[in-house]
Structure 1
Amino acid sequence: MTLPAQAQAALDSFAGCTSWEQRARLLMQWGQRLSELDERDKIEANRVHGCESQVWLVGECKDGHWQFAASSDARLIRGLVALLLARVNGLSTQELKQVDLPDWFDQLGLSRQLSPSRSNGLNAVLQRMRELALS
């Protein structure tokens, strides 16, 4: 499966990092680029359960391809969610089902920094995306 352009850009930018400090800085930059969700979208129905931090997610399918938007109150989570969005935006429902979250963060060199709770939270976000895609 070919990667969306944004996902390839993320891989390219993280490939140049030689230290955790560089990765952490880049992660924060990705989080800052995440568009802020409209306050009207920050409702209980859009909140992702299973995250320690508050995460809201909305998605819509246009011409068979998904576009998701998300927000979080935690800076690190914003960065991780932004990287997840880079990986999934533009995918079909079928492609979305095949996304391998651990593999994606491993390719970025971030898997060691994912605590079990962060990993569970990101899995909850991906699971919510899949639920939206099937509804």
Structure 2
Amino acid sequence: MASEAFEDIAETFEFLDDWEDRYRHVIELGKAMPPLDDAFRVPATKVDGCASQVWIRPIIEGQGAQARFDFQGDSDAMIVRGLIAVLHALYSGLSVRQVTAVDAPAELARLGLHDHLSAQRSNGLRAMVERIRSLAADTASA
């Protein structure tokens, strides 16, 4: 149940044979994201469990399970910014119910990220996914 934007990333990863090229592509995705306004770099949007500084600001349109999910995110590390861009492609525009149904580990496994990320980065990616799912679940149950 991946979005078209995520499918585009997966197709690009299939085309790029070398992990270093994939790594550069993730960084480029991060560079293309608009920066998060400093006003949203606050403890309430900070993601715990990441070695780098990471902020995720939810943008939810509507109420209940059918509300549309989007978010802005940022990090002080370029690769992590890229991982945020990958997660944005995976989740943005879904209903909050759909966000909670996405099998993020399976979708991300298609990119081979866990094979090439450090343990700290993998833990941070998992923390970002958990935060996104939590934000969506809170809205879905409201």
TM-score, L = length of structure 1: 0.91
Name the CA distance, whole Å, in 2 between partners of 1:101 and 1:118.
15
1:86 aligns with one of 81, 86, 89: 89
Q: Please tell me whether the aligned partners of residues 31 and 82 of structure 1 are also in contact (alpha carbons under 8 angstroms).
A: yes
2:118 aligns with one of 115, 119, 124: 115
Structure 2 counterparts to residues 20-99 of structure 1, below 5 A:
20-63=19-62, 64-99=67-102
Secondary structure of the equivalent of 1:35? Answer: coil
Over residues 5-30 of structure 1, what are the superposed CA-to-partner deviations in whole Å (9 max), with x where a residue is unaligned? 21111112111111112111111111
> How many pairs align?
134
Which portions of structure 1, spanning 4 or more consecutive aligned residues, are displaced by more than 4 angstroms?
Answer: none
> What is the aligned-residue RMSD (CA, Å)?
1.4
Alignment gaps of 5+ in structure 1: none
Deviation of the 1:71 alpha carbon: 0.0
Q: Percent identity?
A: 36
Deviation of the 1:66 alpha carbon: 0.3
Q: Please tell me whether the aligned partners of residues 54 and 76 of structure 2 are also in contact (alpha carbons under 8 angstroms).
A: yes
Over residues 67-107 of structure 1, what are the superposed CA-to-partner deviations in whole Å (9 max), with x where a residue is unaligned? 11100000111111110111011111221112223222221
Q: Please tell me whether the aligned partners of residues 31 and 78 of structure 1 are also in contact (alpha carbons under 8 angstroms).
A: yes
Alignment gaps of 5+ in structure 2: none
Q: Please tell me whether the aligned partners of residues 46 and 57 of structure 1 are also in contact (alpha carbons under 8 angstroms).
A: yes
